Structure 1
Amino acid sequence: MAESVSVRCPTCRREHTYAPPSYPCACGAPVSLPLLSGGVPVRVEHRTWAGSWVPVRCASCGRLDEWPQPEFGCTCGTMVRVPVASPGTRPPSARQPGAGKPAAGRAEPAERPGAEPPSAPEAARPEQARAEQPRSEPTRAEPTRAEPPAAGSGTPPQPPPRTAGPAGSAGTPARRPAFRPVTIRTAQDAKTAAAQYLRWLGFSEVRIAGNRPASGVDLRGPEVVAHVDPTTTPTTLRDIETLWLNGLNESATAVCFSLAGYSHEARNRADELSLALFVLDLTGTPQPVNDPADELIRTIA
């Protein structure tokens, strides 16, 4: 797990404790984004596709992949991007996968460089040891290959993450599995990620509306209405007030999600209306940016 670092918002100069996310490499090892030592955080004003991804090398296998830039939303409404160190060279373990394992037929002669030639009975013993060694290694490796299926098939929390939220929204926060985000590459992905998060919080039957609904409500459930802003500009005051009126009309909780943060006026108005604001990074993980959002997580989760 990556260590937390102190990051200062370039707009309001507020300090935040930030831990970069980890992503699963194709080899199965977690890839932590290496933050640049002494790097200066920048404000995200205009988001581009090329600038939203950063190459990071896996420390285990040496594979170089592109992952979302580490970003977080400040409480002042600014979307802050944290610089990442450039990928280094492949580690020796990745360049030479078998460097740490001696060859099967070379270990025995190297252990006795000055020994006399063994007699016939003694010469048979190393051959028997070498013949038995390959059989013993697979027997130890087979249980390790069998462990993941056994753990996955017998663990009940993994299949029901969608149903555990609504059923245990009031009294089972400890049993709830970790939220599994959806990587955001399109506007529809942003709506899907926000809908999954609302279901994870405990709102049932959350549905995604069609493209550009006239009401401005992108997600709707029996007890919640939500607006998802996937654009590269901060969410405006008008969006916040429109969403609040929809929630008031339907007697539902109003929640807003944004990729680029919120304008200063929108943020202040949301605090006055007690409307929960979240920001979405490209991993699809919502982060609360105001007190109503924190309160929503505490009371429902």
Structure 2
Amino acid sequence: MSESVSVRCPACRRAHTYSAPSYPCPCGAPVAPPLDRHGAPAPVRHRSWDEEWLTVRCAACGRPGQWPRPELGCPCGTVLRVPVSRSRAEQAPEPLDARDAVLAAARHLHRLGHRDLRRADHRPPSGVALTAPGLLAHVDPSGRPATPRDVECLWLTAMARSVDCAHFSRGGYAADARARAERLGVALHVIGPAGEVRAVGAPGT
């Protein structure tokens, strides 16, 4: 849930509680602009394309995106532009390297009860394959969104071994890759910039 701030209309002095709407990042995480609690709202008198959008980085994958600038309509008829914390919106997280991503995935699998984790004998087209009794996991630290082909290759390899499978990606998943994983029952996970792991879709939860 996005944070709430108190916004007072400078025209009629009426106070409002405002929460910025969130929008889905390509990785699947909700993104909302960080609001400035100490800033003053400004009435919107003129509109220009450049002022309608701002850059906000996803806290889960670090990807920057263009999002609508938050606004609030007061009952008095004034449209207010809600102030945003610019430094927090554009702050870039420290990227993980490939080793960090693999360790984050291994820690997550260990917390889920998978023991005896090790590198798999086969090498996937990209990234690292991990195996545990009854499980095959693919970790892609490249930062690019995973594709349906990535999901299908993992699923086929797991089917040949008669084990479950899980995919971990630093770059999130294309929409069609998420849809394919839902149909095939592949558990998807996003590895965030600080090494946190979040499940994406029903099979991973």
Choose which of 55, 59, 72 in structure 2 pairs with 1:71.
Answer: 59
Cα distance between partner residues in 2 of 1:203 and 1:253: 12
Cα distance between partner residues in 1 of 2:124 and 2:31: 39
Offset at 1:281? 0.5
Paired amino acid for 2:22: R
Q: Deviations over 1:136-171 (max 9, x none)?
A: xxxxxxxxxxxxxxxxxxxxxxxxxxxxxxxxxxxx
Choose which of 213, 230, 237 in structure 1 pairs with 2:123.
Answer: 213
Instruction: Name the residue aligned to 2:113.
Output: 202
Offset at 1:185? 2.7
Question: 1:205, 1:222 within 8 Å by CA — same for their partners in 2?
Answer: yes
Instruction: Name the residue aligned to 1:268.
Output: 179
Cα distance between partner residues in 2 of 1:237 and 1:257: 14
Q: Which has the higher strand share?
A: 2
Compute the TM-score of the two structures, normalised by the length of structure 2: 0.59
Offset at 1:215? 6.7
Cα distance between partner residues in 1 of 2:29 and 2:117: 35
- Shift of the 184–79 alpha-carbon distance from structure 1 to 2, 3 Å rule, reads closer
Correspondence 1:8 to 2:9: no
Cα distance between partner residues in 1 of 2:176 and 2:159: 20
Choose which of 191, 196, 201 in structure 2 pairs with 1:280.
Answer: 191
Paired amino acid for 1:269: R
Compute the TM-score of the two structures, normalised by the length of structure 1: 0.42
Q: Which runs of 5+ in 2 are unaligned?
A: 4-19, 38-52, 68-83, 89-93
Correspondence 1:232 to 2:143: yes
Q: Deviations over 1:107-126 (max 9, x none)?
A: xxxxxxxxxxxxxxxxxxxx
Q: Which runs of 5+ in 1 are unaligned?
A: 19-34, 45-69, 88-182, 295-301
Choose which of 243, 256, 278 in structure 1 pairs with 2:154.
Answer: 243
- Shift of the 11–281 alpha-carbon distance from structure 1 to 2, 3 Å rule, reads closer
Instruction: Name the residue aligned to 2:165.
Output: 254
Cα distance between partner residues in 2 of 1:205 and 1:16: 34
Paired amino acid for 1:222: P
Q: Deviations over 1:254-285 (max 9, x none)?
A: 10011111112211100100111110101111
Cα distance between partner residues in 2 of 1:205 and 1:84: 45
Question: 2:31, 2:59 within 8 Å by CA — same for their partners in 1?
Answer: no
Paired amino acid for 1:219: L
Cα distance between partner residues in 1 of 2:21 and 2:160: 40
Q: Which has the higher contact order (CA 8 A, sep 6+)?
A: 2
The ranges of structure 1 where at least 4 consecutive aligned residues each deviate by more than 3 angstroms after the TM superposition are 14-18, 38-42, 78-87, 214-217
Paired amino acid for 1:250: R
- Shift of the 224–41 alpha-carbon distance from structure 1 to 2, 3 Å rule, reads farther
Cα distance between partner residues in 1 of 2:106 and 2:95: 13
Q: Which has the higher helix share?
A: 1
The alignment-based identity, stated in percent, is 32
Paired amino acid for 1:213: R
Cα distance between partner residues in 2 of 1:220 and 1:258: 16
- Shift of the 72–215 alpha-carbon distance from structure 1 to 2, 3 Å rule, reads closer
Offset at 1:232? 2.2
Instruction: Name the residue aligned to 1:193.
Output: 104
Instruction: Name the residue aligned to 2:41.
Output: none
